[in-house]
Amino acid sequence: MLETTIAGSLPKPEWLAEPEKLWAQWRLEGASLEYGKRDAALMWLKQQEDAGIDIVSNGEQFRQHFVHGFLQQVSGIDWNIMTPMGIRDNRYVVDVPTVTAAVSRKGPVHSSEVRFTRAHTKRLLKFTLPGPMTICDTIADNYYGRRSDMAMAFAEILNQEAAEIAALGVNVIQFDEPAFNVFRDDVKDWGIEALHRAIAGLPCKTAVHICYGYGIEENVKWKKTLGSEWRQYEEIFPAINRSRIDQVSLECANSKVPMSLLRLLRDKEVMVGAIDVASHTVETSEQVAATIKQALQYVDAARLFPCTNCGMAPLPRDVAVGKIRALSGGANLVRRSLG
Ligand code: ZN
C-alpha cells in the first residue's frame, strides 16, 4: 500500500555531466562515458533502495534529455537541420531536429541500459519513454504535415521499443506527456489514441505522466500566469479515466491543482506528486504525509502511489537524495497512521 516511486529523472553526478542543468553536456566520452552512465545508475539504484523507494528507476542517467535520448536512435530525423521551435505552446524556444522522412527505429534504443538496470535491483522497476504528443512538440515536421499523423508514426515505434523493454523485465512503462496539459483539445482528438497505439499489447503496467514541467525558470514564470487554481487537468481527466492506461502521474505538491480533481480518475491508479521539484528546499516527511493525506480524500490507498511532481534532473544531487528520503518517510508516516 502507498508504494513510492519517482516520476523519472534524477540529477546526473557532477563527474558525468554539468550539474543543475537540463540538456547538460556529458563530461566523459567513449567507453568512459558508457561506464560513467552505468556507475551513475548503480549509485541511484542504491540511493533509492536505501531511501525505501518501492518502484525504482535508473534515474534517466543514460540520456541527455528525455525526448532527444530516444530520437537519436530514430531514422527519418535530420539532426543537421535544427529548427528553433517555441515548444509547449511557445513557453520556451529550443533548437530541435527536423523530421524529413518516415520515422523508424534503427534498432533497440534502451535495451542494454534496461538489461543492466534490471540485473542490479530486485525491486519493481519503472522505465520512462517520451509520449507521442510530447515528441511531436519537441521536433520540427517537414514530412508528415499533420501532427496527429506524425504522433501515430512515433507511437508505432514507441510500441516496438516498449515491447522489448517489457520483455526484459520492466514492471511499469511510463510515457511522459507534459504536452497533454497544453494541447488539451488534441488530447481528446488524438493524444489518447496515440498513447493506446504506444501501449498496445504490453504485458506490464502502463502509465502516463502529466505535469506542469521541470522546475526551470520558464516553467516557474508560466505557472504564475495560470491563475489561483490550475484546472487544466479537469479538461483531460475524463478522457484519461476512460483510456486503457493503468496509472496517471501528476503534479500536486506546492501546485495550485485542486486535489478534488483527482476524483475524476476513479478508475485509475494515481501517482500523486508529493515532492516539489521546483524548490531546493527538502520537504519534511510530515509535509509529504500531509499531501498524501489530502489526496487520500479522493483516491483510496490501494490506488495511490506517492511520487515526485516531475523529474529531478535539474536539482543538486544532495537535494534530490533528501527529497526521495522525505517521500519514503512521508509514505511511512501515512501507512502507520492507517494501521
Ligand atoms: Zn514532468
Q: What is the CATH number of domain 30-338?
A: 3.20.20.210
CA of 195: how far to CAs of 112, 183, 258, in Å? Answer: 24, 15, 25
Pairing of strands 92-105, 140-141: parallel
The alpha carbon of 177 and the centre of ligand 1 are apart by a number of angstroms equal to 8
The alpha carbon of 63 and the centre of ligand 1 are apart by a number of angstroms equal to 16
The alpha carbon of 31 and the centre of ligand 1 are apart by a number of angstroms equal to 30
Per-residue pLDDT of the chain (339 residues; tens, 9 = 90+): 999 999 999 999 999 999 998 888 999 999 999 999 999 999 999 999 999 999 999 999 999 887 888 898 999 999 999 999 988 888 888 899 999 999 999 999 999 999 999 999 999 999 999 999 999 999 999 999 999 999 999 999 999 999 999 999 999 999 999 999 999 999 999 999 999 999 999 999 999 999 987 777 888 888 888 888 888 899 999 999 999 999 999 999 988 889 999 999 999 999 999 999 999 999 999 999 999 999 999 999 999 999 999 999 999 999 999 999 999 999 999 999 998
The alpha carbon of 8 and the centre of ligand 1 are apart by a number of angstroms equal to 8
pTM of the model: 0.95
Return the half-sphere exposure (C-beta side, CA atoms, 13 A cut-off) of residue 30. Answer: 0
Q: Which three cell numbers stand for residue 203?
A: 504485458
The alpha carbon of 238 and the centre of ligand 1 are apart by a number of angstroms equal to 20
The alpha carbon of 209 and the centre of ligand 1 are apart by a number of angstroms equal to 6
Q: What is the pLDDT of residue 12?
A: 97
The alpha carbon of 311 and the centre of ligand 1 are apart by a number of angstroms equal to 6
Q: Write phi, then psi, for 68 (nearest 5 degrees).
A: -70, -20
The alpha carbon of 211 and the centre of ligand 1 are apart by a number of angstroms equal to 4
Look-up of cell digits 500566469 = 225
Q: Which three cell numbers stand for residue 50?
A: 536505501
What is the distance between the alpha carbons of residues 270 and 5, in angstroms, rounded to a whole number?
A: 11
Amino acid at 155: A
User: For residues 36-61, b (16+ Cβ closer than 10 Å) or e, as one string?
Assistant: bbbebbbbbbebbeebebbbbbbbbb
The alpha carbon of 339 and the centre of ligand 1 are apart by a number of angstroms equal to 32
The dihedral formed by the CA atoms of 109, 58, 93 and 233, expressed in degrees to the nearest 10: 110
What is the distance between the alpha carbons of residues 105 and 68, in angstroms, rounded to a whole number?
A: 13
What is the distance between the alpha carbons of residues 137 and 159, in angstroms, rounded to a whole number?
A: 19
Q: What is the pLDDT of residue 65?
A: 82
Q: Which three cell numbers stand for residue 309?
A: 511532481
The alpha carbon of 7 and the centre of ligand 1 are apart by a number of angstroms equal to 7
Q: What is the pLDDT of residue 212?
A: 86
The alpha carbon of 133 and the centre of ligand 1 are apart by a number of angstroms equal to 14
Q: What is the pLDDT of residue 284?
A: 98
Q: What is the pLDDT of residue 18?
A: 94
Q: What is the pLDDT of residue 61?
A: 96
Return the half-sphere exposure (C-beta side, CA atoms, 13 A cut-off) of residue 22. Answer: 15
The alpha carbon of 314 and the centre of ligand 1 are apart by a number of angstroms equal to 12
Q: What is the pLDDT of residue 91?
A: 84
The alpha carbon of 81 and the centre of ligand 1 are apart by a number of angstroms equal to 27
